[in-house]
Structure 1
C-alpha cells in the first residue's frame, strides 16, 4: 500500500487587515498613542515583510529552511529536492514553490521592506514606530511605475487597497511633510497604468 510523504512546508504571514490599519489611524487622528495597536499593526507588517523577503530569496535560489532558518542552496532544477545541510530537512522544490504562489509574496520594493524590517525592530519610540508604518504603506509605491507594493501588504484587491490608502487620515494632526508626500503619491498613482486596470 502506497504511503504519502508529509513534508514540513514554510508558513507565510498573511496580509494585514484594513480594519487594523483604520483603527490605528483613527486613534492617531484623535491624538491617542495606542501602544498595543501600534505594535499589533507594526509587527503584523513586520511578519508580512519578512515573508516577502524570504520568498524573494527563494525565487533567487536561496530558500530558507522552515525548520531552522538556514539558507538552502537550490541548484535550479524544477524537480529537485531541497535539503538543509544543517538539520536534514527535505522537501521537493515544486511543493515549496506552491506555498507562496498567488499570495502576493513575490513583489517588488525590496529596498523599502528591508529598511522597514531593519528599523522597526530597533525602534522603541511608539511615535517613531507609527511613522515607520505610515512611511512603509504609503512610500512603498511612490517611486515606481509598476504594480504598487502595498497590495502585497494589505488585504484586498489592488484598487480597493489604493483607495483605502488615499483616504487614510490623521484627522487634523497630519504632519505637513507627510501630506505633501501623499499628494506626490496621488499624482504618481494617477499616471500608473495599474490605476486604470491596464497593468493587471
Structure 2
C-alpha cells in the first residue's frame, strides 16, 4: 500500500505540473513546457517521445489527481517513505497521510479528500477508510472518533441529497417556465393565423 500511495502522489504532482504548463516525458521524466494548445505537440528531444497536449491531458483527466490543499503532506510522505527503515515507521507514515485525507471531509463536506489520494468512488473510499481505521478491538477513544466521523459522513450525505433535490426542483421549474413560454408562443401564433 505504501508504494501504491507513493506512485499515486507522483501522478498527482505530474498532473498538477502539467496543468501548470510543464508536462513530463513518461520515458525519461524530462520536463516539457507547453502552451495549453490542444493541438500542440509535446516532444521530448532526448527520447523522441511525442504526443499532443490533448492526448496527454486525457491520460489524467477524470482520475481525481488533485492535491486539494494537501501538497505539503504529500511532499512530506514522498520524501520520508522511501527512506523509512522499519515497517512500523512506514505504517505510521501511511496512517498519518490517510488520516489527514480522511478528516479533510470536515472542510467542504462534498466528498472524501481520500478519493484524490486513493482513487475510487466516494462510497468505496469511505468503506475502505472505515475498515482500515476501526475494528472490534479499537479503543473507546478510537470508537468515539469513528462516531464523530460517521456523523460527518451522514451530514455530508444529507447535504448532497439536499443539493440534488434543489437541483431537481430548479430543473423542473425551468422546464415548466419553458413549457409555459412555448404554450404562450403557440397560442399567439395560432391567433395570428386565425386573425
Question: TM-score with structure 1 length normalisation?
Answer: 0.64
Query: How far has the Cα of 1:187 moved from its partner?
Result: 5.3
- Say which structure, 1 or 2, has more relative contact order (CA 8 Å, 6+ apart): 1
Tell me how far apart the structure 1 counterparts of residues 140 and 13 of structure 2 sit (CA, whole Å): 30
Change (3 A) 1:64 1:183: farther
Hey, what does 2:103 align to over in structure 1? Answer: 142
Hey, what does 1:113 align to over in structure 2? Answer: 74
Change (3 A) 1:180 1:125: farther
Change (3 A) 1:44 1:129: same
1:146-188: CA deviation from partner (whole Å, max 9, x where unpaired): 5422113435420231133123336536696x77766665555
Hey, what does 2:137 align to over in structure 1? Answer: 172
Hey, what does 2:125 align to over in structure 1? Answer: 161
Choose 1 or 2 for highest CA Rg: 2
Question: TM-score with structure 2 length normalisation?
Answer: 0.65
Query: Equivalent of 2:16, from 29, 51, 56?
Result: 56
Tell me how far apart the structure 2 counterparts of residues 194 and 116 of structure 1 sit (CA, whole Å): 33
Structure 1 residues without counterparts, runs of 5 or longer: 1-40
Indicate conservation of the 8 Å contact 1:123/1:129, yes or no.
Answer: yes
Q: Detail structure 1 runs of 4+ shifted over 6 Å in the superposition.
A: 178-181
Q: Does 1:75 align with 2:35?
A: yes
Compute the RMSD of aligned alpha carbons: 3.0
Tell me how far apart the structure 2 counterparts of residues 59 and 103 of structure 1 sit (CA, whole Å): 14
Tell me how far apart the structure 1 counterparts of residues 81 and 158 of structure 2 sit (CA, whole Å): 29
Structure 2 residues without counterparts, runs of 5 or longer: 165-195
1:106-125: CA deviation from partner (whole Å, max 9, x where unpaired): 45233332221111112112
**Which is further off, 69-78 or 155-164?**
155-164
More helix by share: 2
Tell me how far apart the structure 2 counterparts of residues 47 and 61 of structure 1 sit (CA, whole Å): 21
Query: How far has the Cα of 1:90 moved from its partner?
Result: 1.7
Tell me how far apart the structure 2 counterparts of residues 125 and 163 of structure 1 sit (CA, whole Å): 28
Query: How far has the Cα of 1:98 moved from its partner?
Result: 1.0
The number of residues matched between the two structures is 158
Query: How far has the Cα of 1:56 moved from its partner?
Result: 1.3
Tell me how far apart the structure 2 counterparts of residues 193 and 60 of structure 1 sit (CA, whole Å): 33
